[in-house]
């Protein structure tokens, strides 16, 4: 395992104290971080919503840690879900347990990140957008942090689409770095000063979702500003800006990929892909997770492909670049979308 980007900063101690508390809950449940789904699916959160234990476990064993230490692969076939394979509910914390056994690599961390975010608001948390509103819109409804770096002081408890997908990405990175530092298992006896490396100030600031004074970070400014931009924000941020991701075609999409949708009527949506599905009449649909008004916040949603003009799908392929990307990298916003030819 490559440990070249880990160090021993004291700044991580508060972050690790939070994780020690979570580790106690993991131990009491009898589940290691690398064994999500062995007896249960365990959800943790950077802002410490209560740890949730899911009843849906199946036989998903060892889904994180060393078993997810590579980019997700696919065989070029469409990831189609039958009616029986659809999740049992739209608001749930079983994304890792449900989809993880059917996907390998880093996408499992993204699926776990969805569960972390959803666990903060099992009712969805509400949806709200309004740049000039008082209080202002909030990308996500809790105090999101990345490796101990505070990214957001939420002005509201609501969320919106790009904030939800970015949160799944950030929480996935938290779990990834933690698993790498512990060889896939969380060791509560490890001293705080052997915690994963904290981000350097330059990159930590680039990941923030607010300006230092608490004001809105405008579209196109640094990591979150690119992710939140109009158009294909996850492509701007992951493929171009940070080089942490790569594009995939719709037929190659796998659960945990990030997707930007352009609706046929105009407008767009930022989501995490979960699968394709044909209903009883044979009509093709897309299943994703995000935050939307129609579901009153964070939730899975199934929509007909007839509503979609085109998409852009991106997969996390190099999370280590979190520690080396250049915050001054320019982005080309003129990116063509992909048709869903299924």
Q: Is the pLDDT assigned to residue 35 strictly greater than 60?
A: no
Alpha carbon of residue 262 to chain centroid: 20
pLDDT of 92 over the 90 cut: yes
What does the pLDDT read at residue 182? Answer: 66
Q: Which pLDDT does position 29 carry in this prediction?
A: 29
Specify whether the backbone of 261 is left (phi greater than 0), alpha (psi in -120 to 50) or beta: beta
Query: If you compute the radius of gyration of the chain from its CA atoms, what whole number of angstroms results?
Result: 19
User: Per mean pLDDT, which of 57-66, 191-200, 218-227 is the most reliable?
Assistant: 218-227
Q: How many alpha carbons fall within 13 Å on the CB side of residue 147?
A: 28
pLDDT single digits (tens) 40-59: 233 333 332 332 333 443 33
pLDDT score of 316 more than 70: yes
Cβ(120)–Cβ(158) under 8 Å? no
Question: Across residues 224-228, what is the average pLDDT?
Answer: 96
DSSP track, 87-135: -S-SS-S-HHHHHGGG--TTHHHHHHHHHHHHHT-TT-B-B---TT-SS
Specify whether the CB–CB gap between 272 and 114 falls below 8 A: yes
Predicted confidence at residue 148, as pLDDT, reads: 86
Is the pLDDT at 37 greater than 50? The verdict is: no
Residue 177's contacts (CB-CB under 8 Å, 6 or more residues apart) are: 147, 196, 197, 319
pLDDT at 65: 67
Mean pLDDT, the chain, rounded, equals: 82
Tell me the per-residue pLDDT of 233-272, one tens digit each, with 9 for 90 and over.
Answer: 999 999 999 999 999 999 999 999 999 999 999 999 999 9
Backbone angles phi, psi at 59, to 5 degrees: -120, 30
Q: Check whether 186 has a pLDDT greater than 90.
A: no
- Predicted pLDDT of residue 67: 67
The whole-model pTM stands at 0.82
Would you say residue 12 has pLDDT above 70?
Answer: no
pLDDT of residue 215: 84
Backbone angles phi, psi at 206, to 5 degrees: -65, -25
Conformational region of residue 97, where left means phi above 0, alpha means psi within -120 to 50, and beta covers everything else: alpha
CA 140 from chain centre, in angstroms, equals: 12
When mean pLDDT is compared across 59-63, 86-90, 127-131, 264-268, the lowest value belongs to 59-63
Q: For residues 239 and 304, is the Cβ–Cβ distance under 8 A?
A: no
- Residue 6 scores a pLDDT above 60: no
> Do residues 69 and 1 lie in contact, with contact meaning Cβ atoms separated by under 8 Å?
yes
CB distance 165 to 245 below 8 Å? no
3 state SS of 228: coil
- The model's confidence at residue 139, banded by pLDDT at 50, 70 and 90, is very high
For the chain, percent of residues with pLDDT exceeding 70: 76
pLDDT of 185 reads 46
Q: What is the pLDDT of residue 196?
A: 54
pLDDT tens for each residue of 262-304: 999 999 999 999 999 999 999 999 999 999 999 999 999 999 9
């Amino acid at each position: 395992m490559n440990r070249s980007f880990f160090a021993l900063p004291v700044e991580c101690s508060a972050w690790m104290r939070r994780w020690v508390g979570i580790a106690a809950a993991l131990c009491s449940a009898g589940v290691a971080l690398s064994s999500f789904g062995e007896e249960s699916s365990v959800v943790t959160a950077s802002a410490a919503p209560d740890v949730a234990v899911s009843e849906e476990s199946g036989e998903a064993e060892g889904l994180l840690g060393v078993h997810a230490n590579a980019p997700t692969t696919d065989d070029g076939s469409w990831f189609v879900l039958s009616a029986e394979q659809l999740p049992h509910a739209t608001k749930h914390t079983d994304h890792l347990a449900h989809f993880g056994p059917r996907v390998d690599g880093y996408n499992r961390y993204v699926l776990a990140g969805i569960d972390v975010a959803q666990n903060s608001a099992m009712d969805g948390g509400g949806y709200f957008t309004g740049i000039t509103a008082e209080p202002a819109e909030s990308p996500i409804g809790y105090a999101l942090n990345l490796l101990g770096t505070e990214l957001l002081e939420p002005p509201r408890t609501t969320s919106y689409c790009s904030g939800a997908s970015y949160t799944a990405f950030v929480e996935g990175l938290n779990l990834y770095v933690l698993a790498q530092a512990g060889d896939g298992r969380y060791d509560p006896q490890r001293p705080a000063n052997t915690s994963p490396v904290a981000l350097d100030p330059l990159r930590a600031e680039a990941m923030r979702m607010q300006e230092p004074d608490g004001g809105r970070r405008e579209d196109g400014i640094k990591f979150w500003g690119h992710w939140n931009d109009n158009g294909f924000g996850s492509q701007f941020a992951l493929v171009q800006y940070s080089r942490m991701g790569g594009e995939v075609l719709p037929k190659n999409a796998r659960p945990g990929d990030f997707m930007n949708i352009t609706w046929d009527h105009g407008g767009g949506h930022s989501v995490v892909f979960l699968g394709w599905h044909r209903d009883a009449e044979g009509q093709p649909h897309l299943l994703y997770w995000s935050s939307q008004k129609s579901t009153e916040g964070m939730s899975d949603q199934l929509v007909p492909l007839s509503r979609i003009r085109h998409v852009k799908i991106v997969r996390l392929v190099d999370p280590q670049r979190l520690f080396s990307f250049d915050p001054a990298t320019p982005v080309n916003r003129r990116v063509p979308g992909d048709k869903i030819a299924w």
